[in-house]
Structure 1
Amino acid sequence: MNTSAPVPTRRQAIAVLGIGAGAVLVAGCGGGPPEATDGRVRLAMFNTPRASMSPFSDDAFMLTKWSCAETLVNLDAEGKLVEALASSWERTNATTWRFTVREGVTFHDGSALTAEQAAACIDFAASHPEAPRILDDVELSVTAEGSEVVVTTAEPDPLLPQRLSSPSMVILAEGAYPDASDGVIDPIGYGTGPFRLTEVNGTATATLERYEDYWGEAATASGIDVSFVPDGTARGSALRTGEADVVEAVPFSQVANLDESLLHEIVTPRTLTLYLNTAEGVFTDKGLRAAVRDAIEPTELTATVYEGYADVAPGLFGPALTWAEELRSWGTTSFTGAKGAGAAGRVPGAAKASKVPEGTTITIGTYSDRPELEEVLVVVTEQLEKAGFTVKNDVREYEQIESDALAGAFDAFLLSRGTVLDSGDPVAYMESDFSSDGSFSLCFLKDTKVDAALDKAAALEAGQERRKAIIAAEEAILATGAAVPLVNERLLQGEAAGLTGAERDPYTRALITASTAVGQ
C-alpha cells in the first residue's frame, strides 16, 4: 500500500470539500432530537442500545448516564469510592464485605429498597450464565442481614466495592427480574435515580421523566428526551442548530463548523494501541516488534488525525490516571517513536529494534465504527512502510472483525481500548489483555514476568502500593513489545448555550444528573 502523500487534517479536508455540519440533517438519521420542550433536556447519544437495555451489557452505561439506575457505591472523578445506595461499607475479613443499605429509598415502581432486594440483585448477576464481565473469575455469595448486604468471595478480593460500582451492577426493583435464572432483565421503570425511564423506542429514542420521590437531590429538569444518533455529522449538526442540549462524542471533524464555546474536552482513560501478534508470524520476533515501536511517530497522529485533541501515549495509561506519570520512570515521554522511551532504553528489558528483512509483509486489522481509526491506519501504514514493512490492511465493522482478531487472524490489530473498564482500576484490563490466560488477548502474550507482576498488583488493596505495582506491571508489558500504545484519547462533549450541570465524566458513567438544567 503506497500512502506517501501527506495526510491532511480533518479541518483541511472539510475546507477543500466544502462540507459543513449541515450537510447531513439530524432528521435524516431516523430519530433526531425532538423540538425543545419546557425544562426537558434533549440528549443526542453516540451509541444505540445493543441488548434491550440489559445491565449485563454496555447498555448499562446508558442507565447511569441518564441517572435512572444506581449502584451501591460509585466512583468520583479521581476513581475513589463514594456513597450511593449504600451509606457505608467495610471489609470485615479477607473475603467478606458488608454494605449498609441507605434508608428511605424507593424504586420507580414505588417499592422500597431493602437489603434483601439489593442482595438478590447481586446474586442474580453473579449466578447468571451471561454474568457481567466485571465478575469474570469472581466466585461470591451474598446474603442480607438486617440493613446490611454481606458479600463473601471465595478468594480475597480487595477491589470488590469497585466491582460493585460498575454500571452493570445497578440495583433494580424485583419487577425488573425474570422468573428464569437465565432470563433477561427489563430495567424500564424499575430504577432508583432522579429520573424514571419510561420508554425505549428501539434504537431511535428513549424518554425519561423526573422521579418526584427520589431519595437525594430532586432533578432540576422535568425529563430527558434521548435520541440515538450514531452518525457523527448529524450529532454535530444537532449541536450547531440547537436541536440538542447535550451531544455525546462530537467528532473532531465538526470542530471547524461549531462554536467552540459549546465544546468541552474530556480527558479519558482510553488508549489507542497497536496490538502485535506474538503467537505466530512476523511478530514472534521481539526485535521486529521493537522495529514497529520505533517506526511510529505518534505526534503526527495527534496533529493530523486528532487535530490536537489527543495526547501522545507515554504508556498504557494517559493523563486521566494522574498518578501514573508520577510513578512511571519516564514520566510523560512518548513510549513509541525513534526518540521515545522504548527506543532510548528507558524501559528496562525492552529490546532494540532489528533491521526489517526485505519482503516482510504484515496485515493490520481495525474497525470502521470509529472513523478516526481508518485515518490513523493510513498514517501508521505509511510510517511502517518507510521502516521496511510491506503492509496490508483489513478494515470492517467491529462486529464483523472481532472474532477474527481474537482468533489471531492478523499480525497486528489497532484498537481503542478503555484501560479501566468497569471498576475504575486498570488491573482487570491488564489481566484481560496481557496475561497468559487473558479473556481478551489480541497479542496472545504468554510471559511469566508479566503474569507475576499482574498477580502482585491484583492482590493489593486500593492505594499507593497497588498503584506502584500497576506501573511495574505496565513496564513489564511494554518491555515485551507486544503492545504499542499510540495516543491517549480525549472526547468532545457538546453543551448548548445556557445548559448547566452536565457531568463531564472521564469514566463515561455519568452525563445527565439531578443538577442538569437547560437555559431559559
Structure 2
Amino acid sequence: MRKTCGLFIVLILAAGMLAAGCTSTQSSGPGPENTLVVGEMWRVSSINPGDGHGGGTFITEKAIVTETLVGADANFTLVPNLATAWRQINDTTWEFDLREGVLFHNGEEMTAESVVFSLDRVAESSPGTATLLDYNSSEVVDRYTLRIHTNTLNPLVPGTLHYPDTAIIHPDSYDASGAFTTPIGTGPMKLESFNEQTGEVVVVKNSEWWGGEPGLDRMIIRGYESPATRAMLAESGEVDFTVDPPYSEVDRLDALDGVHVEKYNTPRIYKLDVNLNRPQMDDKNVRKAISHAIDRDGIVDNVLYGVGSPAGGVFLPTMTWANTTLKPYTYDPALAKQYLAESGWTDTDGDGYVDKDGKNLKVKVVTYTERPGLPPMLEAIAANLKSVGIEVETLSMENSALTVAMADGTWDLYLSATNLAMVPDPEYVLKGWYTTTGSSNTAGYSNPEVDRMIIEGHNISDLDERYDHFRRIEAIVYDDLPTINVAYYGVAVVMKDTVNGYKFDPTAHDYRIDPFMSISA
C-alpha cells in the first residue's frame, strides 16, 4: 500500500513537470546503465557557483561539475585540490601553485589566467565571498602560479578557497555581455541540461577529469523539499539516492529489500538562537534554565533516532580547532528550576507555570519544516520547557514564510540546523554568530570581550596559537548562551543496494556525490 501511494505521488509530480514545460534541449530519459537518479533535499534554483545564493554548494558538491582550489580532509585540515600548494608572501599577499594538466569541460587547460578571471568574477558577483576573502585583486605570476592580494592581513584566504562559491569556472561560462550562462568547470561531471522551470539538472561523465575515470555515466538530480516525499520516492524506487527522510522512517527504510540507509555526522549543528532583545531572554539565569531543561540524549535517541549526537561546544569534536572540554549541558530539571527561582520565577499560584509580577514566563519557539529533525525536535523541546514551568508557544513553517514571520521580533527561541564549516576555520563561525555586527548574529549578542578577541584572533597566523585563541572564545559563548547548542547534525543517506562505491565526505554542506560511485545491474 505504501509503495502504491508513493508511486501515485511520483506520477502526479511527473505530470506537473511536463505541464510546466522544459527549457533544456536535452532529454532526461533512462540514459546509460550507470545513471544515478538523485532526490535532492532542496529545489535547484541556481547552478552559478559565484552567485552567493546556494549555486556553489549545489554545482560543486552535489552535481560535482565544479571544483575549488583548496580541499579539506576529515578533520577539516586544508589539503590540495586544484591548487597543489600555497604560501603567504607578505601580510596581504598569498601565492598559489596550480595543478598542471587540468582541463575545463570545453577542453581548455586551467591556467593562472583563467583562475584569476574566475576569482575576479566571484568577487564582483558575491559581495559576501569578497568580504570573506577581503579581496583586493589577483595577478598572474606565470602559467601555473597566481597571487591573491587582500586589503588587510587575512589568514582565512586558503580556507575561504574551500568555500564552494569560489569554485573555478572557465571565462566562457559568461556571455559577451558578462552575464553568467553555464558552469564550465573542471569536475568529474559536466552539465548537460538545467530546466529552470522544474529545477531538474542532468550531468554526464567528464572522461578527461584529472582525478581519474568517474564511475557514473550520467546523473539526474531533482529537488524534493518534503522529507516524506523523499522517503516515498526511495521506497518506490523512483530515486537511487536521497538524504534525510523523516528520521522515524529510517529503520523501516533500511529494512526494505533493495534499499539501505547509512548514517553520518555532518558539519552542522541544531541550535536555539536566543532573542536577547526580549527582556526575559536577556536574563542569563533563564538561558541557563532552558539549557538544563533540554534532554539532549532523549532528543537524539527518540526524536532523531540516533541520527546525530548531543552538542557541547559550537564545533564538532572532530574539528581540529574544537574546544573538546566543552560538554553538553546536563539534563537537570531541578537545576533549571533553581536558576529560574534565582531570577524570581516561581509558581506562586500552583498552575504549573512559573510567574513573576503576576505574569507567566512564556516563550515562543519557532523553526522551519524542510529539515526532518526540526519540527519533532521543536515539540520535544517545548515539552522539556513545560516540565520546568515555562509556558511555550510553538511555530513551525516553511523557511521562506518563517523569515517573514520572525521579522516582527516577537519570537524568543529560533531552532535551526546551521552549517559550521563552509570555511574550515573557527573564525568564520564565531565572528559571524557572536560579534556585535556579525552577519549571522541572530541573537543580537554583544560582548566587548568577544569582539576584541575575535579581532585579535584574525591576526594570528600560527595555527596552534590561532586555534587555542578561538577555543577560549568558544568557551565564553558556551557560558553566555546567546545560542543554546542542542545536537550535532547527522545525515541519513538512503540508497538502492545497486549503488556501489559511495564514500561520505564529512566536510560537505549536506553531502557530496562521490565521483567513483557506480550502478550495478
TM-score normalised per structure 2: 0.85
Which residue number corresponds to residue 367 of structure 1?
368
8 Å Cα contact 1:90/1:99 also seen in 2 = yes
* 1:498 positional shift: 3.7
Structure 1 counterpart SS, 2:36: strand
Give the number of equivalent residue pairs: 488
Q: Alignment identity in percent?
A: 22
Tell which deviates more after alignment, 62-71 or 230-239: 230-239
Q: Which deviations, in whole Å up to 9, do the C-alpha atoms of 1:194-245 show, x marking residues without a partner?
A: 2111101233421111122222312122121222222323322333343333
| 1:140 maps onto 2:140 in alignment | no
Point out where structure 2 has 5 or more consecutive residues left out of the alignment: 19-27, 346-354
* 1:176 positional shift: 1.2
Which residue number corresponds to residue 264 of structure 1?
262
Structure 2 counterpart SS, 1:318: coil
C-alpha distance in structure 2 between counterparts of 1:234 and 1:295, whole Å? 33
* 1:36 positional shift: 7.3
C-alpha distance in structure 2 between counterparts of 1:384 and 1:351, whole Å? 12
8 Å Cα contact 2:321/2:468 also seen in 1 = no
Which residue number corresponds to residue 74 of structure 2?
77
* 1:336 positional shift: 4.9
8 Å Cα contact 2:367/2:375 also seen in 1 = yes
* 1:22 positional shift: 5.5
* 1:135 positional shift: 3.4
* 1:453 positional shift: 3.1
| 1:39 maps onto 2:34 in alignment | yes
8 Å Cα contact 2:499/2:519 also seen in 1 = yes
1:283–1:137 CA distance, 2 compared to 1 (3 A): farther
C-alpha distance in structure 2 between counterparts of 1:393 and 1:462, whole Å? 45
Which residue number corresponds to residue 197 of structure 1?
191
1:365–1:250 CA distance, 2 compared to 1 (3 A): closer
| 1:24 maps onto 2:6 in alignment | yes
C-alpha distance in structure 2 between counterparts of 1:289 and 1:513, whole Å? 42
Structure 2 counterpart SS, 1:366: strand
Compute the RMSD of aligned alpha carbons: 2.9
Q: Which deviations, in whole Å up to 9, do the C-alpha atoms of 1:473-513 show, x marking residues without a partner?
A: 11111221211111111001122214223231223256333
Which residue number corresponds to residue 429 of structure 1?
429
Superposition pairs for residues 28-427 of structure 1, below 5 Å?
A: 28-30=12-14, 35=30, 37-51=32-46, 53-56=48-51, 57-64=53-60, 65-128=62-125, 130-133=126-129, 135-136=131-132, 138-146=134-142, 147-178=144-175, 183=179, 185-188=180-183, 190-202=184-196, 203-259=198-254, 262-321=260-319, 324=322, 327-330=323-326, 333-338=327-332, 354-356=343-345, 357-358=355-356, 359-403=360-404, 405=406, 408-420=409-421, 422-427=422-427
1:152–1:407 CA distance, 2 compared to 1 (3 A): farther
1:34–1:466 CA distance, 2 compared to 1 (3 A): farther
8 Å Cα contact 1:66/1:513 also seen in 2 = no
Structure 1 counterpart SS, 2:75: coil
C-alpha distance in structure 2 between counterparts of 1:137 and 1:336, whole Å? 39
Which residue type is aligned with residue 415 of structure 2?
A: L
* 1:446 positional shift: 0.6
C-alpha distance in structure 2 between counterparts of 1:87 and 1:284, whole Å? 48
Which residue number corresponds to residue 4 of structure 1?
none
8 Å Cα contact 1:172/1:187 also seen in 2 = no
C-alpha distance in structure 1 between counterparts of 2:373 and 2:3, whole Å? 17
* 1:21 positional shift: 6.1
C-alpha distance in structure 2 between counterparts of 1:461 and 1:306, whole Å? 39
Q: Which deviations, in whole Å up to 9, do the C-alpha atoms of 1:90-121 show, x marking residues without a partner?
A: 21122211112222222112233221110011
Which residue type is aligned with residue 13 of structure 2?
A: C
8 Å Cα contact 1:68/1:191 also seen in 2 = yes
1:90–1:137 CA distance, 2 compared to 1 (3 A): closer
8 Å Cα contact 2:82/2:98 also seen in 1 = yes
Point out where structure 1 has 5 or more consecutive residues left out of the alignment: 1-18
| 1:441 maps onto 2:436 in alignment | no
Which residue number corresponds to residue 349 of structure 2?
none
TM-score normalised per structure 1: 0.86
1:320–1:227 CA distance, 2 compared to 1 (3 A): farther
Which residue type is aligned with residue 105 of structure 1?
A: V
Which residue type is aligned with residue 143 of structure 1?
A: E
Structure 2 counterpart SS, 1:478: helix
C-alpha distance in structure 2 between counterparts of 1:435 and 1:351, whole Å? 27
C-alpha distance in structure 1 between counterparts of 2:438 and 2:340, whole Å? 23
C-alpha distance in structure 1 between counterparts of 2:44 and 2:472, whole Å? 38
Q: Which deviations, in whole Å up to 9, do the C-alpha atoms of 1:370-401 show, x marking residues without a partner?
A: 24322212121222223222222232221122
8 Å Cα contact 1:54/1:186 also seen in 2 = no
8 Å Cα contact 2:363/2:391 also seen in 1 = yes
C-alpha distance in structure 2 between counterparts of 1:355 and 1:297, whole Å? 24
Which residue number corresponds to residue 505 of structure 2?
505
C-alpha distance in structure 2 between counterparts of 1:480 and 1:48, whole Å? 37
8 Å Cα contact 1:125/1:169 also seen in 2 = yes
1:213–1:145 CA distance, 2 compared to 1 (3 A): same
